[in-house]
Structure 1
Amino acid sequence: MSPLDLLLEPLQYDFMLRALAATVVAAIVCALLSCWLVLVGWSLMGDAVSHAVLPGVVLAYIVGAPFALGALAFGLLAVALIGVLRDTSRVKEDAAIGIVFTTLFALGLVLISVTPSQTDLNHIIFGNILGVSDGDLIQIGVLAAVALAVLLVKRRDLTLYAFDPTHAFAIGLSPRLLGAILLGVLALTSVVALQVVGVILVVAMLIIPGATAHLLTDRFGRMLIIAPALSAASSVVGIYLSFWLDAASGALVILVQGVVFTLVYLFGPRHGLLGRRMARLRAARVG
């Protein structure tokens, strides 16, 4: 089979076209948000929100509501609970995050175990890229468009908040409001990626692209280009590998992203482990 056949054969199937479209859209919006999450240091918050949406999805199934509605509601609820617990007790933020997301995730698992269902709800946990319907694709596109619009409109304020919240406050911005906006977009983006990789692997799509881009450049504007580009490319490669290897699609998408991060970590020209050593050796020889 020629390389062209390897490339074109999967595109003959509608489910593959929908999977590619949904994954690329989710990868781009997650990667953009990940740039801010990495700078603010909210990796654990991304983990919390992505896991906390599980009971919302199950409850939405029980009452016959859209999955996205329940997931978004519980994502926002998790953010609110973390804030209340942090601000009204001696519990620090990292502990509050751990308490809220593990409790809500456990609630979701209990609901799945006791809910009689003709549908295998495990796809909520592990994702179901190849099962994306036209309706799911429209839902993903609309939610992603809203998240992207907020990030683009507020990008300067959010960037200042990420780098220097004290300065943001000094010029009249509200760090609390900007943090709330970022958390709201995080909840929305978690819902976008939920259908693609499931609640367990969402955090990888929210962290790996931004961390990879951060190793490649010191300029935030370039991060906002590099992260979605690498994430989208990794997603396409992962989907193709899943087709030809008959393996888990969501897991392969994340695995490819992890491999790209590893290569950048080792061989990145400025911040790569081996790249820095080679630069020092060249400098020593010149000196």
Structure 2
Amino acid sequence: MFEALQYDFIQNAIIAGVLISIAAGIIGSLVVVNKITFLTGGIAHSSYGGIGLAIYLGIPVLFGATVFAIITAIIIAILTINDKKRIDSIIGMMWASGMAIGIIFVDLTPGYNVDLMSYLFGSIIAVSSDDITYLLLLDLFIISVVSIFYKQILAVSYDSEFASLRGINVKFFYTLILILAGLCVVAAIKAVGLILVIALLTIPTYLAETFANKLSKMMFISALLATLFTLLGLVISYLYDISSGASIIIVAVAILVIVKLIKR
């Protein structure tokens, strides 16, 4: 395995895996605490529309997916903040329409030769230097926003009614959390793909809840666990020549089961 470290694509995969894990640990904690896993899943699959549009227009795929994810997050926030009874229908609609738009644009793209499976199931070994720069800037943005607005995000996440009484703009921070989740989803596409992205956001946090008694600690532990899962998954993927995204998630699930069995 160590001889593989001499290859640039392996080095890029490791760096990208760590950067993605940091974002997933922070945002995954917010997703679990706010109970918006299904919302995040809707954003994830809707962003496929951005991937298809980017391929059609010939622009960077991550850029197209990012714009689409942000727009989707804002729309979902507007539609669900005051009407959570119909949240399942709204998410289902956004989920299906985003995927449909992506498929249509890909079909309309003349002579495309893009491996769409890499976006559905991940292909972290295909990460470029530009992707790493994007992931680094994204991590810095997420860490900065969460650090600056930590108290407000904490209040909105655990008791939105109390936060509103304290004068905190609950709608703004609810939308902000969804936008951050959308950005994290786009980042994680390279690692595990759209299909498995929710697992990377939720499994580390689910484990971190066992060891953390406050949100900031949960974020830190989640990021560490996500990094561990990603690196172990990459090792298994390299040794057995299997999909990196599936390997990462299988490692996460296996460790989750082991920890829960030990606790019992």
- Calculate the TM-score normalised by the size of structure 1: 0.85
Tell me if 1:75 matches 2:94: no
Specify the alignment match of 1:23 in structure 2.
17
Specify the alignment match of 1:108 in structure 2.
102
**1:57-100 Cα deviation digits (max 9, x unpaired):** 12112212222221122112222333454479896112211221
Letter in 2 for 1:82: I
Residue 35 of structure 1 and its aligned partner are, at CA, apart by 0.9
Specify the alignment match of 1:42 in structure 2.
36
Specify the alignment match of 1:196 in structure 2.
191
- Once the two structures are overlaid, the 10-residue window that deviates more, 142-151 or 112-121, is 112-121
- 1:92 match: secondary structure: helix
For 2:35 and 2:189, the matched residues in 1 are separated by 22
Q: Which runs of 5+ in 2 are unaligned?
A: none
- Cα distance change, pair 167–238 in 1 and its aligned pair in 2 (3 A): same
- Cα distance change, pair 160–151 in 1 and its aligned pair in 2 (3 A): same
Letter in 1 for 2:98: L
For 1:263 and 1:111, the matched residues in 2 are separated by 43
Alignment of 1:181-260 (within 5 A): 181-260=176-255
CA contact (8 A) 1:27 1:232 kept: yes
Compute the RMSD of aligned alpha carbons: 1.9
- Calculate the TM-score normalised by the size of structure 2: 0.92
- Cα distance change, pair 156–14 in 1 and its aligned pair in 2 (3 A): same
For 2:80 and 2:231, the matched residues in 1 are separated by 40
For 1:64 and 1:15, the matched residues in 2 are separated by 23
Tell me if 1:65 matches 2:71: no
2:131 to 129, 136, 145: 136
CA contact (8 A) 1:150 1:185 kept: no
Letter in 1 for 2:157: A
Letter in 2 for 1:12: Q
Give the total of aligned pairs. Answer: 263
For 1:111 and 1:140, the matched residues in 2 are separated by 26
- 2:112 match: secondary structure: coil
For 1:180 and 1:92, the matched residues in 2 are separated by 17
CA contact (8 A) 2:55 2:106 kept: no
- Once the two structures are overlaid, the 10-residue window that deviates more, 80-89 or 181-190, is 80-89
CA contact (8 A) 1:52 1:74 kept: yes
- Cα distance change, pair 180–241 in 1 and its aligned pair in 2 (3 A): same
Letter in 1 for 2:103: L
CA contact (8 A) 2:74 2:175 kept: no
Residue 220 of structure 1 and its aligned partner are, at CA, apart by 2.6
- 1:118 match: secondary structure: coil
Letter in 2 for 1:66: P
Residue 213 of structure 1 and its aligned partner are, at CA, apart by 0.8
Query: Max radius of gyration: which structure?
Result: 1
Letter in 2 for 1:98: G
- Once the two structures are overlaid, the 10-residue window that deviates more, 157-166 or 70-79, is 70-79
Letter in 2 for 1:27: S
- Cα distance change, pair 206–89 in 1 and its aligned pair in 2 (3 A): closer
CA contact (8 A) 1:85 1:91 kept: no
CA contact (8 A) 2:45 2:194 kept: yes
> Among the aligned pairs, what percent are the same residue?
26
